[in-house]
Structure 1
Amino acid sequence: MRAWQHTDPVEEIPLLGGDVTVGVVRAGDTVRRPLGPHSPLVHALLRHLEQVGFDGAPRLLGVDEQGREVLTFIEGEVAGRPRPRWAADEDRLRSVARLLRHYDDAIAGFIPPPGSVLDGPAIEHPDVRAATLDPPELVGHMDVTPENVVFRDGRAVALIDFDLARPATRLDEVVNALTHWAPLADPHDRDPQLADADVPRRCRVFADAYGLGLDARARLVDVTVLRSRRSWHVMRHRAEADGGGWARMWADGVGDVIRRREAWLVEHGPAITAALLA
């Protein structure tokens, strides 16, 4: 990894909104982020995306004198909290799906460097084992939250924050995105802009724009329930083992949010599946 140097002092502006990573700043036309165990995979992934001409991700420039990775800053708007009114816009939803499909197609030929894929937490529980069903197809972004999608002129143009990238299936990617953008959540836990969202319709809109196959559509709800059950155990483990943002989210009740989502999915899953297959 090449060193990054600048000759003139640059004001650093904190970039807020993430749940886990701290110390992210903008400096001129760059973003500086702390390195971590995930960095070798992320750096190789970003280099691959640059090589194949995918323009919907930051470019990796190097490491600065403080040992932080340096990325290009992507101009645009992101949906922070509380969500803006446009978070419910279906055209934007379609553009997120198309961007994610473009990313998944671009990364499909990527082979992670040896040793760069971190092992997940060793959690011995039936819910965790049951959620490991399908062999991975690619290295997914797996954190397509509104904070991590950059828009320009009402269209999703870039994904940022690849810290949670990991081997996944295309269905995993869609489930992850829909969790935040449909959203797949109990109405009690939704942002006001999406509290009354027609979730089955939004799932269909997203699946159509992504180009999700019929088999994956039929399995989407079941996979989401399994992933949700696993997520509860993983989040609790990370809160206890890693602390920091994970512990804050757990203390704020994310475990209860996950349990409510699971119950809501069990009740409303048939309607979502029907919309996806109609």
Structure 2
Amino acid sequence: MNSFTYVESSESHPEIPLVGGDVTEGVVRVGDTVRRSIGPSSPLVHALLRHLEATGFPGAPRFLGIDTAGREVLTFVPGEVAGRPRPPWIADEERLASVGRLVRDYHAAVADFVVPDGVQPGLGVSMPPDMPPAPPYPVELVGHADYTPDNIVFRDGKAAALIDFDLAKPTTRVDEVANAMMWWAPLCDPVDADPLLREVDVPRRCRILADAYGLADADRSRLVEVFTLRTRRAWFSMRQIAEERGGGWARMWDEGVGDEIKRREAWLDRHGAAIDAALKAP
């Protein structure tokens, strides 16, 4: 037995499947714990969660070890998530602002986290040879990088915790805020938005999230640029992951996520100036 072996309690609990998300399968709740399969990103995720626990950050599950079935064991985070179909409160602006504050607090907690030697971030797939260039800004921290409504736990109407750190990677603050905006503004062609978010004022919602986070002026000025470059790269990376990983990634590709990304890029070309103006307005 090593320090990462999880010792089961003497009380027996059933395994209750947990649904949500697009690619993670076989997640179950056992008592006050969650069991998930180990993947290529697990070494980084485990180190990151241990760091968050050491800093006292309350908004993430705790990594408890590996069970006898070879699954990671995490604490169960109580609350509500915006599963499918999305709840009416998905468009609530107070909840939107709380997402920005939670991302800010996570960044403060992870600011001094260093990726351990020998740990490789990412999903273990190869870089597409035709991948467009990345935004030309230096890495600032290890981000969550997947702020979907399924991955944010709310309590008392406020974003309280993050779950599913599988896409965590070294990135920048503006990348992180843009990722949150993608899901919560949302930054996409309205045809691809949830019906409850198709008529919202997207530039206004981007400003609310940026203000709640406390996004610096320099990052506001480059956000549309960064998100446009990330969107162009997303088509190539999603295609590559679908080919190499299969499973939920392949299903998403087959269901048209590549076309959705292309529509997002075209939508950004039409509306990027309005978002930029809203972010930089006095």
TM-score normalized by the length of structure 1: 0.97
Change (3 A) 1:126 1:248: closer
Q: Distance in 2 between matches of 1:226 and 1:155?
A: 31
TM superposition shift of 1:86: 0.2
The CA deviation at 1:213 is 0.8
Q: Residue 82 of structure 1: SS of its match in structure 2? A: coil
How far residue 132 of structure 1 moved from its aligned partner, in angstroms, is 4.3
Which residue pairs with 2:183 in the alignment?
Answer: 180
The residue number in structure 1 matching 2:147 is 144
The residue aligned with 2:128 is 123
- CA deviation string 1:75-112 (max 9, x = no partner): 10000112111000000000010000000110010011
Which residue is 1:266 aligned to? Answer: 269
Residue-pair matches, total = 276
**Is residue 2:116 matched to residue 1:93?**
no
Letter in 2 for 1:248: R
Q: Equivalent residue of 1:13, what SS? A: strand
**Equivalent runs, 1:161-180 vs 2, <5 Å:** 161-180=164-183
**1:18-75 deviation line (CA, Å, top 9, x unaligned):** 2111110011111111111111100000000000110000011111111111111111
2:78 to 75, 80, 83: 75
Whichever residue aligns with residue 96 of structure 2, its letter is: L
2:78 aligned counterpart, secondary structure: coil
2:6–2:73: 8 Å Cα contact kept in structure 1?
no
Give the Cα–Cα distance (whole angstroms) in 2 for the partners of residues 217 and 73 of structure 1: 35
Displacement over 4 Å in runs of 4+: none
The aligned counterpart of 2:250 is 247
For the residue of structure 1 that corresponds to 2:139, the secondary structure is coil
Q: Gaps (5+ residues) in structure 1?
A: none
One-letter amino acid of the counterpart of residue 163, structure 2: I
Counterpart contact for 2:49–2:62, Cα < 8 Å: yes
Cα distance in 2, alignment partners of residues 96 and 126 from structure 1 = 31
Residue 209 of structure 2 aligns with an amino acid whose one-letter code is F
Unaligned runs of 5+ in 2: none
Shift, 1:126, TM fit: 5.2
Q: Is the 8 A contact 1:117 1:166 kept in 2?
A: no
Equivalence for 2:112: 109
- State whether residues 4 and 70 of structure 1, in contact with CA within 8 Å, keep that contact through their aligned partners in structure 2: no
Q: Which amino acid aligns with 1:169?
A: T
The answer to whether the Cα contact below 8 Å between 1:142 and 1:165 also exists between their aligned partners in 2 is yes
Identity %: 62
Partner of 2:67: 64
Give the CA deviation at 1:189.
0.3
**2:260 corresponding residue in structure 1:** 257
SS at structure 2 position matched to 1:32: strand
Contact 1:56 1:103 in 2 (8 A): yes
